[in-house]
Structure formats: C-alpha cells, structure tokens
C-alpha cells in the first residue's frame, strides 16, 4: 500500500482536504437522519416542531416511556426478536449442510442450484406470499409467529446458502478429507471437523439472516394483524405524516434502529466481509 501511495500524489494539501471533505459530506448525509430522529425523540413536542430547529432544549424521555411502558411496543419487540432469532437458528441448521454441500459438489447441478437461488432472490415477494394470505386464514395460521418464522427462513434461504457456500469454499477440502480417509463418514467429518472451525462464516451468515428477518416489512404486514405483528409493521402505522405522535414514532424509529446500529459497530468486520464475500471471491 505504501508503494502505491506514491502514485496517488497527495502532497497537495488542498486535494487532500477536498477528499476528506467529500467523504465527510457523505458521512453526514448517511447519519444525519438518524441523528435528527434521535433529537426529535428526546424533545418535547413544542421543541420538536419548531422551525428553525431548537438545538438547546430540555430533553425528555416521555416518548420512550409512552412507547415502551404505556404502549405495546414491548409486545412487538418480543415478536420481532422471537421471529428473527428463531429464523436464524433454523436457517443455519439447515443452511450450513446445504452450503457446505454446494461448496464441495462440483457437478453442474450445483451451479444451476446457485443460479436458481439468485433467481429466487430476484422475484417479487408477492409471488410467494399471496397464496399464504388465504392459506393462513383457512388453516388458522394467520397472524402467528411460527408461520412468519418459517416463511422468513424459506425466503431467505437462497441468500443464506449462497453466503455460507462462499465461506465453505475457503475451507480447504483436505481438512475433512483427512478425517474421511481415517474412516469418518462425510457427515461425521462435517460434524466434528468442519463445524468447529466454521465460526466466522456462520456468524456472518447469521448476522445477515437476522437483519433480513428483523427488517422484513412486506411479509408481516400482509400476514399479521395484532398478535404476531413485528416492530417494522407497528412503526409503519405511524406513517411519515403523523403529526400528533411524531416524538413517539421517532422514539420507535430509534428503538428499532438501535440494536442494528450496535450490531454494525460491534460486528462491522463481519458485515463488510459478508457483503463483499459473494462479489469479490467469485
């Protein structure tokens, strides 16, 4: 990297300043809405609505109290967590063997399966959900968390498997082959040799599967009413033009975003790895 730096001649301080400024600009653009929502959530409504904006004000946690303690947000939070964590567990249990198999099986059908995975990812969700709308009503599974969880697992499987496959491709075949030469079945080799070392890849795939399930709006909004509704559904009801309860919906937005922000800060490495894995290593 040092050798290359010579070629991008940055001795010119003006150029350097411009570069940093542009990046800083984008950084601000990216996080300003979050900052603003947070400010709104801790302002008294009279401060929140005043333009020009009030920067010095008396903060309040009224909105959060109304949301979490007086309101039903806890219920939606529980639903979201139950569905998301459940999805991840199931998705990984069935996805890891599948991803591993796709990484090792070099026959052409492996390629076609991957192609199918990409195609499924591209399809509009309505294609899958529409029948569920009335199937769920008829079978009494409408507005249940289990149904949501299973559908999320299924719909995100192509992506999960794709990501896991690219991580398994980085584990040399020799590792499990050594075990199999010693007499293990493939499954034993997988269970006792591969599983212990696939940690980082699984964590990354798990994070993404979690975020996908956590953020899902279309599927819950169609398939739930009140019992199994998730946080995205709950907060979308406030809408962008809700004036009366702006502070509360801002508090909701912050509450929903917070776990994800924490994940980004703690697991940034994994997220970046996951986003670029499919692309760069192809």
Partner 1 sequence: MEMKRKEFIAFTAPSMLIMAALMIAPLILTFYLSFMNFTYGSNPQYIGLKNYIDILTNVRFWNATAFTLLITAVTTFAKIAIGFGIALLLYNITKFRGIFIAGSLLPFIVPPVVGTLIFGWLFRQHWGYVSYLLNQIGIDISWYADPWAARWLIMMHVIWQGTSFVFLVLYAGLQAMSKESLEAAVVDGATYFQQVVYVIIPYLKPLFLFVTMIMVMDAYRLFDNIAVMTKGGPGLATETLMYYNYQIAFGRLSLGAGSAISVLTMIGIFILMAPFLYWTYKEQTEK
Residue 108 binding partner 1, by CB under 8 A: no
Nearer to partner 1, 50 or 59 (CB): 50
* HSE of 219, CA atoms in CB hemisphere, 13 A: 27
CB-based contacts of 150-154 (< 8 A; 24+ apart in sequence): 150/90, 151/219, 151/223, 152/83, 152/84, 152/87, 152/212, 152/213, 152/216, 152/219, 153/87, 153/90, 153/91, 153/94
Binding segment for partner 1 among 44-52, 58-66, 67-75, 193-201 (CB under 8 A)?
Answer: 44-52
The footprint of partner 1 on residues 58-77 (CB under 8 A) is none
Q: Please tell me the distance from the alpha carbon of residue 282 to that of residue 267, in angstroms, as a whole number.
A: 23
Residue 78 binding partner 1, by CB under 8 A: no
Q: Please tell me the distance from the alpha carbon of residue 213 to that of residue 84, in angstroms, as a whole number.
A: 5
CB of 58 to partner 1, least distance (A): 19
Q: Structure tokens of 132?
A: 């569920």
Residue 30 binding partner 1, by CB under 8 A: yes
Nearer to partner 1, 124 or 196 (CB): 124
Binding segment for partner 1 among 60-68, 70-78, 122-130, 195-203 (CB under 8 A)?
Answer: 122-130
The footprint of partner 1 on residues 154-213 (CB under 8 A) is 154-155, 157-158, 161, 173, 177, 180-181, 186-187, 190, 211
């Amino acid at each position: 990297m040092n050798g290359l730096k010579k070629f991008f001649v940055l001795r010119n301080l003006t150029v350097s300043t411009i570069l940093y400024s542009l990046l800083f600009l984008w950084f601000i653009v990216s996080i300003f809405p979050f900052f603003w929502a947070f400010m709104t959530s801790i302002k008294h409504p009279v401060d929140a609505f005043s333009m020009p904006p009030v920067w010095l004000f008396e903060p309040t946690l009224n909105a959060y109290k109304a949301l979490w303690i007086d309101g039903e947000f806890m219920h939606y939070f529980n639903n979201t967590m139950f569905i998301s964590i459940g999805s991840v567990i199931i998705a990984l249990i069935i996805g890891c063997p599948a991803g591993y198999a796709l990484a090792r099986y070099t026959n052409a059908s492996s390629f076609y399966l991957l192609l199918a995975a990409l195609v499924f990812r591209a399809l509009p969700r309505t294609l899958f959900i529409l029948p569920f709308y009335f199937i769920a009503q008829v079978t009494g599974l409408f507005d249940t968390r289990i149904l949501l969880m299973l559908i999320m697992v299924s719909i995100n499987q192509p992506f999960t498997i794709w990501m896991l496959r690219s991580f398994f491709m980085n584990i040399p075949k020799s590792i499990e082959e050594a075990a199999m030469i010693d007499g293990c079945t493939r499954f034993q080799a997988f269970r006792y040799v591969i599983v212990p070392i696939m940690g980082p890849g699984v964590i990354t795939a798990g994070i993404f599967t979690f975020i996908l399930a956590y953020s899902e709006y279309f599927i819950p909004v169609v398939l739930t009413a009140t019992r199994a509704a998730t946080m995205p559904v709950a907060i979308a009801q406030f809408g962008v033009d809700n004036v009366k309860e702006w502070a509360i919906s801002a508090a909701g937005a912050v509450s929903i975003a917070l776990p994800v922000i924490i994940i980004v800060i703690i697991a940034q490495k994994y997220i970046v790895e996951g986003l670029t894995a499919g692309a760069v290593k192809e």
